[in-house]
Amino acid sequence: MPHPQKLLGMEIPSIKVQLKDQSQWKTLPPYQQLGFGKYFSDHWFSAQFTETKGWASAKVEPYQNMSLDPAAAVFHYGQALFEGMKAFRRADGSIWLFRPEFNSHRFNDGASRLCMQSVPEELFLKGIKSVVEADARWVPKESGCALYIRPTLVGTEAFLGVRPSHEQLFFVILSPVGSYYSEGSAPVKIWVEHNAIRAATGGLGAIKAGANYAASLQAALHAKKQGYAQVLWLNVDHQGIEEVGTMNVFFVFKNEIVTPALNGSILPGGVRDSVLHLLRHWNKPVMERRITISEVHERHLKGELVEAFGTGTAATISRIGELQWKTERMILGEQHQLSQEILDTLTGIQMGTLPDQFGWMRSLQSL
Ligand code: COI
């Protein structure tokens, strides 16, 4: 029988806040050194789910190691799911989040696919709010920087039979970030993977399961050795373009802009969705459809491929400078007018210098 909280969907535990003594605060890293995911703030948020208590023990406390039973489900059968979000500091000092409800919905779609208890939206948002408030000094003010928010859900029950864990931990950690790629804002070189695949329709590709990223590591390592920053994944037919793994992908041709249609194995990215909104609002001829690597190659040879870029929370809008597919090397020109316009618009909305015409931004206080 589902736990009553699942039925009501509303009751959330109160959040206990136990802050570090100021004398123990970490030194903030210089913003030029941030990169991605290297530093962690002073506190974290966590809440536990058990069948008897529902969601309970919600707390913000000093960032620390956690203790789990070695038999915990997450270590054996991979019940692990996460989100990526950002908090931005505006010129007036206020802190804002970009479309947090989008992440909450996607998180719970993933929880359902992995047979995990959903995290009520209120708990998801209040958990984030409480820890970002506690660590507000970690939200960088410098342009191009943000506080990356990593909500995570793992199965914690100590049991080796293969079935969904009856116990879970939901937690949120924070990391001040600059550029995801070491290239900074320079165009990235991408390796088109023609052997391995990342996911297939019906599998886990459309959710942010940790397993998808484990599946991507081998090809990413190979690509890195050849001097490529990331892998462009193809479908099981080794033709249909999927995504880059850390970002969705858009191709700008002379007469249309194309991004692969969501087919069940591509992550429905929040920035992807926002870019589609912007392009449609600007009356640009944008299509979500199947697109193959052969089509991209042929149109590149004909001079029709104007620019290509990736979209993601961590990667923001990243220009693609080169695609290597088998023996074919596609060097993209210096054009990046559209991707720059999109980046400037999204940044303007996030930082409050442009109107939030789609109602995407949420102030930290309002959560
Ligand atoms: C994000 O963009 O937030 C992601 O989750 C990509 C990541 C795995 C670095």
Mean pLDDT of 236-244: 97
Q: Which two tokens stand for residue 255?
A: 């007469």
Q: Is the pLDDT reported for residue 124 higher than 60? A: yes
Number of domains in the chain: 2
Q: How far apart are CA 219 and CA 253, in angstroms?
A: 28
Q: How far apart are CA 162 and CA 51, in angstroms?
A: 18
Ligand 1 centroid distance, CA of 150 (Å):
9
Question: CA–CA distance from 14 to each of 47, 54, 121, 204 (Å)?
Answer: 10, 13, 14, 33
Ligand 1 centroid distance, CA of 283 (Å):
29
Check residue 295 and give its pLDDT.
98
Per-residue pLDDT band for 265 (boundaries 50, 70, 90) equals very high
CATH code at position 345: 3.20.10.10
Residue percentage of the chain with pLDDT more than 70 = 97
- 131 domain-assigned: yes
Question: Ligand 1 pocket check: which of 246, 272, 311 to mutate, most ligand atoms within 8 Å of Cβ?
Answer: 246
Q: Which atom of ligand 1 is nearest to the CA of 37?
A: 9
The reply to whether ligand 1 has any atom less than 6 angstroms from the CB of 350 is no
Residue where a domain terminates, one of 124, 155, 177: 177
Q: What pTM value is reported for the model?
A: 0.95
- 276 domain-assigned: yes
Per-residue pLDDT band for 245 (boundaries 50, 70, 90) equals confident
The reply to whether ligand 1 has any atom less than 6 angstroms from the CB of 312 is yes
Per-residue pLDDT band for 261 (boundaries 50, 70, 90) equals very high
Ligand 1 centroid distance, CA of 64 (Å):
22
Residue where a domain terminates, one of 145, 177, 209: 177
Pairing of strands 43-50, 168-177: antiparallel
The reply to whether ligand 1 has any atom less than 6 angstroms from the CB of 246 is yes
Mean pLDDT of 89-94: 97
- 363 domain-assigned: no
Residues 205 and 319 in one domain: yes
Please check whether residue 140 is in contact with residue 34, taking contact to mean a CB–CB distance below 8 angstroms: yes
Residues 43 and 160 in one domain: yes
Q: Which two tokens stand for residue 49?
A: 């789910």
Q: Is the pLDDT reported for residue 91 higher than 80? A: yes
Condensed to tens digits (0 to 9), the pLDDT of residues 168-177 reads 999 999 999 9
Please check whether residue 25 is in contact with residue 42, taking contact to mean a CB–CB distance below 8 angstroms: yes
Q: Which atom of ligand 1 is nearest to the CA of 84?
A: 3
Please check whether residue 246 is in contact with residue 312, taking contact to mean a CB–CB distance below 8 angstroms: yes
Check residue 179 and give its pLDDT.
85
- 83 domain-assigned: yes
Domain boundaries, position 8: 4-177
Check residue 4 and give its pLDDT.
44
Please check whether residue 97 is in contact with residue 87, taking contact to mean a CB–CB distance below 8 angstroms: yes
CA dihedral 238→241→244→248, nearest 10 degrees, is -160
Q: How far apart are CA 259 and CA 183, in angstroms?
A: 24
Residues 157 and 201 in one domain: no
Residues 166 and 236 in one domain: no
- For residue 341, what is the enclosing H or E element? helix 337-351
Residues 160 and 11 in one domain: yes
CATH code at position 112: 3.30.470.10
Closest CA to 315 of 173, 174, 186: 186
Closest CA to 271 of 318, 231, 234: 318
Ligand 1 centroid distance, CA of 142 (Å):
21
Per-residue pLDDT band for 12 (boundaries 50, 70, 90) equals confident
Residue where a domain terminates, one of 129, 157, 177: 177
Pairing of strands 80-82, 146-155: antiparallel
Q: What is the DSSP letter of 292?
A: B
Please check whether residue 53 is in contact with residue 5, taking contact to mean a CB–CB distance below 8 angstroms: no
Check residue 161 and give its pLDDT.
96
Residues 128 and 212 in one domain: no
Residues 145 and 86 in one domain: yes
Ligand 1 centroid distance, CA of 180 (Å):
9
Residues 85 and 232 in one domain: no
The reply to whether ligand 1 has any atom less than 6 angstroms from the CB of 313 is yes
- 156 domain-assigned: yes
Closest CA to 46 of 18, 79, 11: 18
Check residue 180 and give its pLDDT.
87
Ligand 1 centroid distance, CA of 63 (Å):
21
Residues 119 and 192 in one domain: no
Q: Which two tokens stand for residue 174?
A: 């924070």
- One DSSP character per residue, 39-54 reads ---SEEEEEEEETTTE
Q: How many CB atoms lie within 10 A of CB 343?
A: 19
Residues 197 and 342 in one domain: yes
Backbone angles phi, psi at 235, to 5 degrees: -70, 180
Ligand 1 centroid distance, CA of 107 (Å):
13
Any residues with CB less than 8 A from the CB of 184 and at least 6 apart, and which? none
Q: Is the pLDDT reported for residue 5 higher than 80? A: no
Q: Which residue has the tokens 């802050």?
A: 19
Closest CA to 216 of 193, 238, 182: 193
- 361 domain-assigned: no
Q: Which two tokens stand for residue 138?
A: 């970690």
Interior angle at CA 354, CA 350 and CA 358, nearest 5: 70
Per-residue pLDDT band for 118 (boundaries 50, 70, 90) equals very high
Residues 248 and 347 in one domain: yes
Any residues with CB less than 8 A from the CB of 18 and at least 6 apart, and which? 59, 60, 61, 62
Q: Put residue 219 in one of left, alpha, beta given phi > 0 → left and psi -120 to 50 → alpha.
A: alpha
- 359 domain-assigned: no
Residues 173 and 232 in one domain: no
Per-residue pLDDT band for 8 (boundaries 50, 70, 90) equals very low
Mean pLDDT of 225-232: 95
Q: Is the pLDDT reported for residue 3 higher than 90? A: no
- 360 domain-assigned: no
